[in-house]
Amino acid sequence: MTIQYCKKCLFPDSKPDLCFDSEGVCDACRTAERKHGDDDSSIDWGNRAALFDDIIADAQNKANGWYDCIVPVSGGKDSTWQVYAMKKIHNMNPLAITFDQFDQTETGEYNLDILRSIGVDHIHFTLNPNIVRSLVKKGFEIVGDPYWVNHVGIFTIPFHFATRFNIPLVVFGENPQFEYGGPEASRDNMIMDKRWRQEFGGMRGLREEDMVDLDISINDLRALQYPSDDMVREAGVMGVFYGNYFKWDANIHTDLIKKLGWSALPKQPAGSWVDYENCDMRYIDIRERIKYLKYGYGRATDQLNIELRHDRITRDDALAIAKKIDGEVDEENVKSFCEYLGLSISDYNLIIDSFVNTEIFKKDDRDNWLLREERD
């Protein structure tokens, strides 16, 4: 299998839902051109900001002095920025809601304190930890994503609170398909709803009922089941991506929230190029290792591509970095992760190997997985 790489960034055509045009450029790069351009085909950010003003005015009118929006938060840079933006820039009265990370870091906990200091009420929702552990293991074994339960939780719990307490707006940050590529319908979709969650919200084709077994009942998963369409409609709740209305630049956001006291990690995680992403996720390197073995790219590629699209690094320099660190994993993290799940290292390796795309990877004489063809 020969992999085609985008002419502008480092994405391979093995990335799910990514399209290349006749010039060999991926849709994520073409979307970035629309974001940063100034011709007729570019995004009219002034118009989008006006649309957002209308949305928040409607939310404030419906709230009538109550919380007028919910911001899902983790302790990461994006959600801290979202809280700051809604509170300080748009003069909203947000309720911050956290779905508890099973592997929250000290840095992530510290940053939640910084987030609260912006001046917002905060709910920290913790699902039964025994159920969480089972779901982490199932996500890891079935779809290669130990964070399946976190994806479902952060895109579901805020809507339960919104519908039950009549909070009209739920504000997420970047639209992943808008920033990292995906089907046209998902890139241009301005609304986060049940359908988006099912197709693009990290569920990997699984549904809550797929997780039911001898240890997990459907009642254990009620909190992870999205409210019915009727409940959402009757409550008048809308979910939006802030990054669909304002030009998203994580570097600018990070510089601003650092002035509030927000902290990056002591060092970047294995397989990552920066120290200011995934600050709340201890085992992010394990998930990204699996992604690398599935599709031929990892977290460093995602991060470097963003810098490429902002013209902050050359493609040659980015490629050299990605070749060096993409797919790396911290062996101490692996040991800790296995202890948490009750797995042996050999069982862990068997699960990892089950996700390897052998059309693009092969083993060397030391039993290490290597790309069959060098990245270009």
Tell me the per-residue pLDDT of 138-192, one tens digit each, with 9 for 90 and over. Answer: 999 999 999 999 999 999 999 999 999 999 999 999 887 777 876 655 556 667 7
Would you place residue 1 in the very low, low, confident or very high pLDDT band (cuts 50, 70, 90)? confident
Separation CA 34–CA 233 (nearest Å): 32
Least confident of 1-5, 184-188, 303-307, 309-313: 184-188
Determine the pLDDT at residue 65.
83
Q: Give the pLDDT of residue 179.
A: 77
Nearest to 315 by CA among 3, 8, 18: 8
Cα–Cα distances (Å) from 237 to 158, 162, 172, 188, 197, in that order, read: 11, 7, 13, 20, 15
Mean pLDDT computed over every residue of the chain: 92
- Please state, in angstroms and rounded to a whole number, the distance separating the CA atoms of residues 292 and 289: 5
Burial class for 1, CB neighbours closer than 10 Å (0-12, 13-18, 19+) = exposed
Please report, for the chain, how many H helices and E strands are present, in that order.
17, 7
CB 292 within 8 A of CB 326: yes
Residue 51: which pLDDT band, with cuts at 50, 70 and 90? very high
Determine the Cα–Cα distance for residues 200 and 205; give it in Å rounded to an integer: 9
Cα(97)–Cα(125) distance, rounded to whole angstroms? Answer: 7
| Banded pLDDT at 229 (limits 50, 70, 90) | confident
Q: Which helix (H) or strand (E) holds 122?
A: strand 121-125
Q: Give the dihedral sign, CA 223/188/251/45.
A: negative
Tallying the residues shown for the chain, one arrives at 376
Max mean pLDDT among 173-182, 208-217, 235-244 falls in 235-244
Rounded to whole angstroms, how far apart are CA atoms 95 and 70?
Answer: 5
Q: Domain 45-244 has what CATH class?
A: alpha beta
Exposed, middle or buried: residue 19 (CB in 10 Å: 0-12, 13-18, 19+)?
A: middle
Distance in angstroms (rounded) separating the CA atoms of residues 33 and 211: 40
Show the CA angle centred on residue 248, arms to residues 250 and 310, nearest 5°. Answer: 75
pLDDT at residue 347 in the model: 97
Q: Which of 111, 104, 119 is nearest to 154 (CA)?
A: 104
Q: Are 262 and 80 in contact (CB under 8 A)?
A: yes
What are the tens digits of pLDDT across the range 346-373?
999 999 999 999 999 999 989 899 999 9
**66-83 mean pLDDT:** 95
Q: What is the pTM of this model?
A: 0.93
Domain residue ranges in the chain: 45-244, 264-371
Q: Which residues contact 156 (CB under 8 A, 6 or more apart)?
A: 197, 223, 224, 225, 226
What are the structure tokens assigned to 302, written together?
């995602």
Mean pLDDT across the stretch 19-29? 95
Q: Which two tokens stand for residue 277?
A: 């992403």
Q: For residues 81 and 73, give the distance between their C-alpha atoms in angstroms, rounded to a whole number.
A: 10
Residue pLDDT, tens place only, 164-174 = 999 999 999 98
